Amino acid sequence: MDDRRGPQVKFPPPMMFISMILVAMALELAVPMGFKLPEPVHYMGLLLPLVGSLALLKIAINFRQKSTNIEPWKPTSTVIVDGIYAYSRNPIYLLFCSYPLGIGLFVGKGWVILSTLPSLVLVYQFAIAPEERYLTQKFGDDYQDYCRKVPRWLLWF
């Protein structure tokens, strides 16, 4: 297998989330869906991206320790199956959800919270699906066994 090109993810997944947040902000201007929450809930919105960022940092360190690329457009040398990857095959993308959810709660914008859903659809279509094809081709039965044991997100879908 020619592995120099990796899974060929063309658009960085964080940009998918950022793009959808920007679309949501535009929708918020056109069709406001702001809401009021108790002040402590708004501040909890700050915690989500902070916790997400710390978890992403831990994952990035784990990738570096295992000498494999975290960027989905680069070749992978190993499938990480321990740590948070024992519970979710895509924890990075799941943690990216902490940004629109947290920002939406903090600023009280429903469209921003809802932007999480199209972001996940885009990430599945343009990152996860190509990654899964690549990993199946490269690692075969080992990767397929991992997929049977560990859900894509945190639930079995």
Positions of the chain with pLDDT lower than 70, given as ranges: 1-2, 155-157
Residue with tokens 């699906």: 129
Structure tokens at 53: 């960022």
Q: Of 51, 39, 48, which is closest to residue 112 (Cα–Cα)?
A: 48
- Separation of alpha carbons 84 and 91, rounded Å: 7
pLDDT at 1: 59
- Separation of alpha carbons 103 and 6, rounded Å: 32
pLDDT at 154: 81
pLDDT at 5: 78
Q: Of 93, 78, 72, 80, which is closest to residue 8 (Cα–Cα)?
A: 72
- Separation of alpha carbons 122 and 101, rounded Å: 16
Tens digit of each residue's pLDDT (9 = 90 or more) over 44-55 = 999 999 999 999
